[in-house]
Structure 1
Amino acid sequence: MSLQLQFSRQIAGRNVTVDCDIPRGDCLALYGPSGVGKTTLLRTLAGFDRIDHGRIAFGAQTWDDGQRYTPVERRRVGYVFQDFALFPNMTAARQLAYAQPRQPTQSVEHWLQLTGLAAHGQGYPQQLSGGQRQRLALARALASEPDLLLLDEPLSALDASLREQLQESLAGLLAQTRLTTVLVSHDLGEVFRLAQHVLKLDGDGATQYGTPQQVLLQRGQYGRYQLTGRVLLLAPAEVQCRVVVAIGQETVTTLISHTEAAGLHVGQAVAVSLNGASATLTALS
């Protein structure tokens, strides 16, 4: 059963059109700057919001076509919110039991073990670390035995090193459970690590769909891959200038000549052409 998305809807005064078909077990990343409607699209898939035109379907079941509408509670969707939305008065084990269907196919202990929380089943959210709370929110979503897993920047509140560790854990979980997943992310590394497909949203309502390589890596001069970023720091030295560029939530540091640096300034949009261990910067208008 694939996730079929052929619809349009108004988001912040812009008409956003989505046209993609996600095979079962694959991950689709929604990528783009803040305010373009990524979370709104996630809420639309969950059933909290309605489409204007088109169709959302999972396998043979139509969830929304403008007339027929499957409510949230009948969509079998697991949702991990940015703030985790855990119940403060429930232990980890109780939260999972609460989320399970009436006749679960897996035990609470199974999900605790799978997410590395076997030793914390009797812990309350306030007793857990940030990474443990993130894994508990994910375990709760998995325990509901969904057809579709929705992740709204689940790792964005974590520091870089912990985020990288949990990306690895999440990649393993998605591979093991073979759940169809839609992920909202600002993190390029996260997108390339977890997603097979990307829907990129721009500020004018335009969308691009394809693999991460097709959508996020552009072929520049001499066939080198390019990414778009912004200059964070220009640090002149005696021979060369050190430049730090933000690309998504990642940074790239490279050395360029003073001549190349003369056309750049902090905040400048640049194309970053990757060539092995080095990077070439080109100012964008």
Structure 2
Amino acid sequence: MLKIDIERPMLTSEGKKTLKICSEIADRELLCLFGHSGSGKTTLLRILAGLTTPSKGRIVYNDTVWFDSDRKINLSPQLRNVGYMFQDYALFPNMSVEGNIRFAQKEKDTDAIEELMELFDLIALRKQKPTQLSGGQRQRVALARALAAKPNLLLLDEPLSALDFEMRIALQHEIRKAHLLLNTITILVSHDVNEVCSLASSVMTIKNGRVLSQGNPKEIFSDGYFQNYAQFLGEISALSELFLGQ
């Protein structure tokens, strides 16, 4: 169980906002954070990872307090043991595929590295550098590296956003595989409704730093918020057709 009750000021394109999240996430949940850019999704991931500090609040993972502003507790990212897959994958360009994955291990375990490379079909690419890989291959390396530390929590920040449609569909399977292998909480940021419905067991919609709703994706995406979001997308589509028609 992950319990979150935090606040943090944010500077967005619309001015100053306050991220204020109060939520509980069950074990083995694959939760998607869904909302417009600037709503606070990535800030929340960075707070959970220990890379950004809330102004106040509390974060508790199972029986371990990760952050408590009143008690002056703020565990380092290393002590939280979080696997973080950044939006740009953040692979080390001077390291091979194998080296990138091995770097994340706390204790050397060659067998575990081999298992991960086999699981994500990276054996033939083990000596390649990130610049020699396709987008899909880099994504698989980043996932394998995130799992190498056997993290308590897996955070994925728009992992498929840079890929084309066909590749996104194919690699959703890799994310699902990673989540099942880890057997703990996974939190995924996505703007793609189909992606969310395909992957997530629950979704949290965020707007201007506040949680609008949290629950089953099919239920959440039938409420008023999603209708407004869909209307917004429809207006953009209509404008595109208008200009293309000209």
The TM-score range, normalised by the shorter chain, is: 0.7 to 0.9
Cα separation, partners in 2 of 1:105 and 1:27, compared to 1, 3 Å:
farther
Partner of 2:229: 228
Letter in 1 for 2:18: N
How has the CA–CA distance of structure 1 residues 7 and 204 changed in structure 2, closer, same or farther, with 3 Å as cutoff?
closer
Q: Secondary structure at the match of 1:87?
A: coil
Task: Find the aligned partners of 1:204 and 1:128 in 2 and give their Cα distance.
Answer: 36
CA distance 1:105–1:52, change in 2 (3 Å): farther
* 1:117-176, Cα deviation, whole Å (9 max, x unpaired): 122111111111110000001100101111111101011000011001101221133123
| Greater C-alpha radius of gyration | 1
Q: Which of 23, 27, 31 is residue 30 of structure 2 equivalent to?
A: 27
* 1:81 to partner: Cα distance: 0.6
1:213 paired to 2:218: yes
Structure 2, unmatched stretches of 5+, are: 241-246
> Are 2:21 and 2:211, in contact at CA under 8 Å, matched by a contact in 1?
no
C-alpha distance after superposition, 1:171-213 (max 9, x if no partner): 1331233131111111111111221222211137453222212
After superposition, where does 1:1-285 map in structure 2 within 5 Å?
A: 2-12=1-11, 13-66=16-69, 67-104=72-109, 107-203=112-208, 205-218=210-223, 228-230=229-231, 245=234, 266=239
1:65–1:214 distance in 2 versus 1, CA, 3 Å: farther
Higher strand share: 1
Gaps of 5+ in 1: 220-224, 233-244, 252-264, 268-285
Show CA shifts across 1:61-117 (max 9, x none).
111111211111211011111111111111111111111112549521111011121
Query: CA deviation digits over 1:19-52, x for unaligned, max 9?
Result: 2221221111111001111111110001111122
Q: Per residue, is there more helix in 1 or in 2?
A: 2
Task: Give, in whole Å, the separation in 1 of the partners of 2:61 and 2:2.
Answer: 5
Q: RMSD in angstroms over aligned alpha carbons?
A: 2.4
Question: One-letter code of the match for 1:31?
Answer: F
Contact 1:27 1:194 in 2 (8 A): yes
Q: Which amino acid in structure 1 is aligned with residue 184 of structure 2? A: L
Cα distance between partner residues in 1 of 2:210 and 2:79 = 30
Which string of whole-angstrom CA distances, capped at 9 and with x for unpartnered residues, describes residues 219-268 of structure 1? 8xxxxx95732477xxxxxxxxxxxx489xxx8xxxxxxxxxxxxx538x
Paired with 1:91 and 1:206, the residues of 2 have a C-alpha distance of 40
Q: Which one has more relative contact order, counting CA pairs under 8 Å at least 6 apart?
A: 2
Aligned to 1:254: none
Kept after mapping to 2: 8 A contact 1:101/1:145: no
* TM-score using structure 1 length: 0.75
When normalised by structure 2's length, the TM-score is 0.86
Q: 1:27 to 1:106 in 2, by over 3 A?
A: farther
> Are residues 205 and 21 of structure 1, via their aligned partners in 2, closer, same or farther at CA, if it must alter by over 3 Å?
closer
Percent identity, aligned pairs only, is 39
1:95 match: secondary structure: helix
CA distance in 2 between counterparts of 1:97 and 1:176 reads: 18
